Structure 1
Amino acid sequence: MSSERDITATSRGLIERNTIGPVPADERNGSALGLVGIWLGVNMLPLTVVTGGLATTLFALPFWWGVLAIVLGNVIGGVLMALHASQGPSLGVPQMLQARGQFGSRGAALIVVVATVMFMGFYISNLVVGSQSLSSVFPSISTNAAIGLALVVSMGVMVIGLRLIKLLLTVSAIVIGTLVVLALAKIVSDGVPASVLQQGGLTATGFFSMLAVGAVWQIAYAPYVSDYSRYLPAGVGSRSAFWGTFAGSLLSGVLMMAFGALLGALSSTGDPILGIDETTGSLATTILMAFALSSMLGNAGNVYCATLTTLTLVENVRPGWIPRARGRLVTSFALLLLGAAVALVATDNFLADFTSFITILLYVLIPWSAINLIDYFLIRHGSYDVASFFERDGGRYGQWNIVALAVYAVGLAVQVPFAVLPQYVGPVATSLHGVDLAWVVGLVVSGGLYYAVAARGRDTSTLSGAHRPFDELAAN
């Protein structure tokens, strides 16, 4: 392959030049503790608060039942998400590029497109909520102007790349986490009426819907967790990558969502963001400003991952092409502008639209997650030929894995009768009074079916290819 040396070509300078190629061993650094800081910061966003607020607003659960659903959902989704993160130190490539090992170089494109839409969806959602936070502090700044400001800030972060994103996420974790703890202390010291915590009613529909929201919040990170953990030295190990990612994301996700659920219950409008102003007194301005800034800075992470998936799609058309910094920046800026344009025309029904978005996202991601985890841990036991990911014919994995694609299609189809969406409620879900179990069915069926067919048809010459070291790619 003529461009194999380009795969590992990087710069020692400030601006990141690694894109979708394997990270060379001599450029790997960091620790599990560093991952904890990153994933604590990832969730320190107003969008996480808004999502947690669904428990006591849209789903009308009593506060403590809402918190229980949040915790269980985040634990379940967090385990699945962190298992994907454990693949990063071993393979050293972005998460979605690994999908070629299961679906083939061409077949993986479908999953990569889904991931790209997801990253952009979260980018746009953060733009909307972050700009609303800024406008609430400075009414003279319109939502559109706030979106424009966020765009400029994110562009500045994207120029440097992942190194700056990691630093900002860790700092955000410290600042936002401290402010939220202070806000909770203020709310508790002022006294929370028992009637507020007990308002609403426990229903199976509300409880399992919120559990699903918590799960999808974590599972939605699965398509890019290795984008962060791929820089860890291979010697750090999968176990450290798992626990660092799981601990950071679970702690911050539960904290911010529980904060949102409490604000939703206390707010006179049912809006968690407006509830900050109503309940935290003089802290409100500082919190909202910090939220707005964290959205602007941290949102670069969503675009960074969307950039990697977009470049992965382009490489499908130009096999062996591994872009450097220029290709990453051009792609990033185009995606930033596209997302900002969509955010500018976001409707007033944003919250309802966002809820539908993350529910559909869960249905689509679950079969991929099940197939990836079964293939990595039970079929190939982490042994992949990374060089094959960049070969024109797909190398050991070919261009199309019809078995994996068929299982993915089945995984989607079996969820339809169980689906619960504003536009459609499946017949089984209707008989269960709106309880959403589609994602559970999709996970079990996709994982079980893939294991059955892949294990039976296993050919060690293609399924368990020797894992060629990263530096060997540059030496060939």
Structure 2
Amino acid sequence: MTHEPPVVTQTFKKFEQQHILPIPESERTGTNWSLAAIWVSLNMMPLTVVTGAVASGSYGLPITWSIIAILTGNLIGAFGSALHASQGPHLGIPQMLQARAQFGYLGASLFALIAFIMFMGFFASILIVAKEALLAVFPEFNGTLAILLFSLVGVALCVFGYELLSRTMAWLSIIIALAVTVSMIIFWTKPEVTSQRADAMFTFEGFFAMLAIGIVWQLAYAPYVSDYTRYLPKDTGPKAAFWGTYLGLVGSSVFVMTLGVLLGAANPDNPLAALGDFLGPLGLLVLIIFAVSSALINGVELYSAVMNALTVMQSNFRMVITSATRVWTTILAGALATFIAIMGQGDFMTVFESFLTLLLYVLIPWSAINLVDYFIVQKGEYVIADLFARDGGRYGRWNKVGLTSYGIGLVAQAPFMVTPLYTGPLAAPLQNIDIAWLVGFLFTAALYLVLTRSARKVPESTVVPVA
């Protein structure tokens, strides 16, 4: 039986109507510049600053070693995300919907749900940090009201969809990059800041913990990079999608996190406040830019949360996904994430660090399976129509090989885990150096490859290239 994916005719160019459906070639308006601008602007926010501040603030690393750990972690993590991004122009579908090929039509909804929770967490986290940036300038402003206003901006952008988000990101990447650059230059010229960690000692535990945070920061993009690279014309090719994503993510992340290292050294308890303390009116202006830009950037986080929510809904309920469905899902998801942000305004940094660590362990096995399947097993050749078939087509409803590999890969990380709630028995002999992510990736990739090659459902000669 041949399955054809549903087709939607776009009637209003500015208002996205394709949602999780394959993007037709005629509507692939993305460019290398617009793609890079999305990834650059996504990292130009106070949440990235706060994450970088963890190195010098929470872990107490010297400034130089903090930057080295951040650079190394981002270089490693972004490589995986960029490989996922290279799939977008070829397949034209959202990243987590493609997981149906590895886990089955229903099995993939489990991972779409995990990704949905992750993006909701980031949406809420960005709201909280944006609020903190605004309160550092206007301390008398009501924090809950600030969260509500910032949320409304992100929801409004998400309602219109990809095109408006893309244009907004392009302009933001320029404005915020200038603000961060000026701040960075001034901070480097202030000895009272750069000398703050002169007596700090290098520790393997702190270095590898920060390296792991850099990795997970980049891998957190993996579940939605193709949500945007799918808008690149197919003849753009995987290399353009890879390098546009890789350079955009690494360059902006390391740059902004380095500013965070300096701010964390200057004020470990409240890194963002150091902008106003050391830069005066200019620092306050940068904080305002950060706060406003975060509200706009958050539309991207919500957009991908909605893509995953729609994937779960279509997988588990017999319903037709329409533009109205997407809009209402956007509003409801935005309201839920806003409620989480309002309720979670307390000990944010402790919760956020635990959130990042958990993300690393959950994403690693999925990433390994997706990359092995795409580049080694299937070599990029998928039948898109079968991904939308309720019986899963040749991919089935539940893929036991994919699900088993993921579960075992997740368990394989447990002995090496280092988290505030649980530390594995093999972590102490390794001086609490977190290598669970490396073990999880290599073990899961090898296991999936072996199991898949020994139990292929479809002979390789019958796999039809992407239409």
**Structure 1 length-normalised TM:** 0.95
Q: Distance in 1 between the 2:153 and 2:193 partners? A: 41
Correspondence list, 1:27-106, <5 A? 27-106=27-106
Q: Distance in 2 between the 1:168 and 1:3 partners? A: 37
Deviations 1:119-177, CA, capped at 9 Å, x for gaps: 00100000100011112212231110101111221222123111111122221211111
Q: Distance in 2 between the 1:464 and 1:224 partners? A: 29
Q: Distance in 1 between the 2:380 and 2:46 partners? A: 36
Q: 1:4 to 1:11 in 2, by over 3 A?
A: farther
Offset at residue 111 of structure 1 (A): 0.9
Higher mean displacement: 184-193 or 222-231: 184-193
Equivalent pair of 1:78/1:215 in contact (CA under 8 Å): yes
* Structure 1 partner of 2:360: 362
* Structure 2 partner of 1:342: 340
Q: Distance in 2 between the 1:63 and 1:190 partners? A: 14
* Structure 1 partner of 2:121: 121
Offset at residue 270 of structure 1 (A): 3.3
Letter in 1 for 2:403: L
* Structure 2 partner of 1:299: 298
Offset at residue 2 of structure 1 (A): 12
Offset at residue 347 of structure 1 (A): 4.5
Letter in 1 for 2:233: P
Higher mean displacement: 148-157 or 443-452: 148-157
* Structure 1 partner of 2:404: 406
Q: Distance in 1 between the 2:120 and 2:159 partners? A: 18
Letter in 2 for 1:366: I
* Structure 2 partner of 1:474: none
* Structure 2 partner of 1:196: 196
Deviations 1:254-292, CA, capped at 9 Å, x for gaps: 00111101110012x532111111222221111111111
Q: Distance in 2 between the 1:340 and 1:3 partners? A: 39
**Structure 2 length-normalised TM:** 0.96
Offset at residue 327 of structure 1 (A): 1.0
* Structure 2 partner of 1:450: 448
Equivalent pair of 1:159/1:329 in contact (CA under 8 Å): yes
* Structure 1 partner of 2:428: 430
Q: 1:423 to 1:379 in 2, by over 3 A?
A: same
Which of 383, 387, 390 pairs up with 1:389? 387
Offset at residue 424 of structure 1 (A): 1.0
SS of 1:381's equivalent in the other structure is: coil
Q: Distance in 1 between the 2:443 and 2:3 partners? A: 40
Aligned-residue CA RMSD in angstroms?
1.8
Deviations 1:346-399, CA, capped at 9 Å, x for gaps: 142110100000100100000000000000000000000000011010001000
Correspondence list, 1:191-230, <5 A? 191-192=191-192, 195-230=195-230
Q: Distance in 2 between the 1:181 and 1:4 partners? A: 49
Equivalent pair of 1:380/1:464 in contact (CA under 8 Å): no
* Structure 1 partner of 2:288: 289
Q: 1:154 to 1:194 in 2, by over 3 A?
A: closer
Deviations 1:313-349, CA, capped at 9 Å, x for gaps: 1101235x55232111100000110011111111421
Deviations 1:74-122, CA, capped at 9 Å, x for gaps: 0000000000000000000000000000000011111111101100010
SS of 1:295's equivalent in the other structure is: helix
Higher mean displacement: 116-125 or 29-38: 29-38
* Structure 2 partner of 1:472: none
SS of 1:165's equivalent in the other structure is: helix
Q: Distance in 2 between the 1:353 and 1:187 partners? A: 28
* Structure 1 partner of 2:156: 156
Q: 1:216 to 1:464 in 2, by over 3 A?
A: farther
Equivalent pair of 2:306/2:330 in contact (CA under 8 Å): yes
SS of 2:56's equivalent in the other structure is: coil
SS of 1:7's equivalent in the other structure is: coil
Higher mean displacement: 345-354 or 237-246: 345-354
Q: Distance in 1 between the 2:415 and 2:68 partners? A: 27
* Structure 2 partner of 1:15: 15
Higher mean displacement: 418-427 or 216-225: 418-427
Deviations 1:190-241, CA, capped at 9 Å, x for gaps: 3356632424211110000000000000000000000000011100001110
Letter in 2 for 1:385: V
Name stretches of at least 5 consecutive residues in structure 1 with no aligned partner.
Answer: 470-476
* Structure 1 partner of 2:326: 328
Q: Does 1:467 align with 2:433?
A: no
* Structure 2 partner of 1:264: 264
Letter in 2 for 1:420: V
* Structure 2 partner of 1:231: 231
Letter in 2 for 1:426: G
Q: Distance in 1 between the 2:170 and 2:32 partners? A: 13
SS of 1:95's equivalent in the other structure is: coil
Letter in 1 for 2:167: L
Q: Distance in 1 between the 2:41 and 2:153 partners? A: 17
Q: Distance in 1 between the 2:158 and 2:402 partners? A: 34
Q: Does 1:166 align with 2:166?
A: yes
Equivalent pair of 1:20/1:322 in contact (CA under 8 Å): no
Which of 372, 375, 379 pairs up with 2:373? 375
Q: 1:170 to 1:413 in 2, by over 3 A?
A: same
Offset at residue 463 of structure 1 (A): 8.8
Letter in 2 for 1:445: F
Letter in 1 for 2:101: G
Q: 1:263 to 1:467 in 2, by over 3 A?
A: same
Q: Distance in 1 between the 2:45 and 2:193 partners? A: 27
Offset at residue 12 of structure 1 (A): 4.0
Equivalent pair of 1:41/1:173 in contact (CA under 8 Å): yes
Q: Distance in 2 between the 1:99 and 1:142 partners? A: 42
Offset at residue 445 of structure 1 (A): 0.4
Q: Distance in 1 between the 2:461 and 2:392 partners? A: 13
Q: Distance in 1 between the 2:89 and 2:441 partners? A: 25
Equivalent pair of 1:61/1:199 in contact (CA under 8 Å): no
* Structure 2 partner of 1:278: 277
The total of aligned residue pairs comes to 467
Q: Does 1:316 align with 2:312?
A: no
